[in-house]
Structure 1
Amino acid sequence: MNFNGILVVSDLDGTLMDSSKNISKKNIDTLRYFVNNGGLFTVATGRTELNIRPFIRDLPINCPAILYNGAAIYDFKKEKFIKHACLDNSILAHAIRDVLYEYNEICVQIFTVGKMYIVSGTRYIDPYVIHEKQPYELADVLDIINEKWLKVILNGKNDKLKGILKKIESIIPKNKFNCMFSTDEYLEILPFGVSKGSALRELIKLIGVNENKVVAIGDYCNDIEMIKVAYLGVATANAHNDLKKAAKCITVSNDNSAVATLINEVIPEFISV
């Protein structure tokens, strides 16, 4: 089958990866077949250029990746950032400090280029940071105010995060930042106007692909803008209902090799190959 000129952009956690954080052999083999027959493939994830590496070593990524939930586009072949956006942390740092005074049992992670800081102390640290042995440094939020922040993650229970979101929105004008949930336990703060969707628009221009041959697949609300930008936006069966409503079609779950099914069955139905 000829997939020449078709771009597939896949979310990683909950989409390309199964519930055990593994990528099935079927997904990998099908992606290699796709790329070997002219397809373009990359990932769009909230992960960084560092903590994504253990998960993509077997993937045939052949164009720049969308990282930090859209705050950066990174070329793994050239090992460099193509583009990145930064937060206005002069305002945000003081809001985070106020949040830390009021809330406990949350983990606040601040990402700069090539580094992650945890500014909420060691009482509670994101379990995935520990499990995946992600490198980080402890810091006071005001001590790193002059560094360039790409994004902030707050990890904790959903009810607490909803309260924190209301507090942040009461302090900071909505046209300064883009706040979103990437799962129920992760509230992310990105530069205003930045999302996986905005990054996909940039990527389309960057590689010069035909917009009618752009396919995106995801599972959670932070993927909504991305699948709206794509010509063919697809939700996995395990996806959040809001994402399913925005998608053109729904395929199988991440535990059933959703990306392989996308390539083998969904794309031929919707796009001329």
Structure 2
Amino acid sequence: MERLSDYLVFCDMDNTLLTAKEGIPSCNRAVIKLFISLGGQFTVASGRPPESIRAALGDIRLSLPAISCNGALLYDFQTNRVLRHTTLDRAQASAAITEIMQKFPHIGVEVMAGAGEMYVIRANPYTHAHQVDEHLGSVACPMEYLPDGWLKVVFAADPETIRKVGQYAKTRYYGRDNYFLATNQIYLEIMPTGASKASAMEELCLLQGAKLRNTIVIGDYYNDLEIMKKAGYSVSVANAPSEVRAAADEVTNCGCTEGAVGEYLYKLIDRVTSV
């Protein structure tokens, strides 16, 4: 017999579950709590570090560890413990940062290290907005004084500059232990090779003794495509680009700010509990 507890739901945060300006719609918050209270397993898969996730979720208590920093970090909020982290090769990432900063003098640069602590190498209006919108504490620090254990690098700028940086990065080789990932129109990241939302979901399923076919992923952007394809079932919110909507098994009727996540979860609750 089908049960809500059979399903592991992985939900992207920004522009899927919430927006930085408006937060989580009340209907999303209410239905997530209902889903969890009925035995459903719910967590987030986000580029945000743990403390930003915690601030955004507020009184929502995840029933599974969170995929943080786009998969470089698995974090258990119930025990406040890092379960797994994957780090960049510092020398390779440093070479990329140095060259890109020289080529694009107005690019903002952040590094997340340790358990997701953020260090700002070069500030600009976009790094400032990132900190404010996602409730991120940060330390301004020259690159050579950063602690080890880099989880990811974030380049922040206007969409046109980010597009040009992405094109430039494709022409360069900074080693085999990293890759570039566009996570938003205003962010381009350097991630450790092998770290992704999809690989973190697979690892979490192993830790939980769960099957991938029982996973459900809700997303909105190109960096969600890999985990959506890996999941047993994928859902795109209505505000996603057409390529993301086309790749999903289901598209919600409403967008992020109207409560797309709540819409889907309530449908799932109704289907399973009405049987």
- Could you tell me the TM-score, scaled by structure 1's length? 0.91
Between 172-181 and 157-166, the greater mean CA deviation after superposition: 172-181
CA deviation vs aligned residue, 1:45-93 (integer Å, no higher than 9, x gap): 1000122221112213111000001111100011011111001121120
Q: For the Cα contact (< 8 Å) 1:73–1:81, is it kept in 2? A: yes
Identify the residue that residue 264 of structure 2 maps to in structure 1: 262
Instruction: Give % identity.
Output: 29
CA deviation vs aligned residue, 1:97-129 (integer Å, no higher than 9, x gap): 121122122210001014211111468743121
Identify the residue that residue 167 of structure 2 maps to in structure 1: 166
Partner amino acid, structure 2, of 1:165? G
Q: For the Cα contact (< 8 Å) 2:183–2:222, is it kept in 1? A: yes
Identify the residue that residue 6 of structure 2 maps to in structure 1: 5
Structure 1 residues 188 and 48, CA gap change in structure 2 (3 angstroms): same
Between 65-74 and 146-155, the greater mean CA deviation after superposition: 146-155
Between 134-143 and 213-222, the greater mean CA deviation after superposition: 134-143
Matches within 5 A, 1:110-149: 110-114=111-115, 115-121=117-123, 125-144=127-146, 147-149=148-150
- Could you tell me the TM-score, scaled by structure 2's length? 0.90
C-alpha distance in structure 2 between counterparts of 1:81 and 1:272, whole Å: 38
CA RMSD, 1 decimal: 2.4
C-alpha distance in structure 1 between counterparts of 2:217 and 2:88, whole Å: 26
Q: For the Cα contact (< 8 Å) 1:41–1:60, is it kept in 2? A: no
Matches within 5 A, 1:1-273: 2-18=3-19, 20-114=21-115, 115-121=117-123, 125-144=127-146, 147-172=148-173, 175-251=176-252, 252-265=254-267
Between 129-138 and 186-195, the greater mean CA deviation after superposition: 129-138
Partner amino acid, structure 1, of 2:16? T
SS in 1 for 2:109: strand
Partner amino acid, structure 2, of 1:265? K
Partner amino acid, structure 2, of 1:242? E
C-alpha distance in structure 1 between counterparts of 2:269 and 2:212, whole Å: 14
C-alpha distance in structure 2 between counterparts of 1:117 and 1:106, whole Å: 15
CA deviation vs aligned residue, 1:142-187 (integer Å, no higher than 9, x gap): 333x611000111102222222223333332574322111111011
Between 102-111 and 13-22, the greater mean CA deviation after superposition: 13-22
* Contiguous gaps of at least 5 residues in structure 1: none
SS in 2 for 1:52: helix
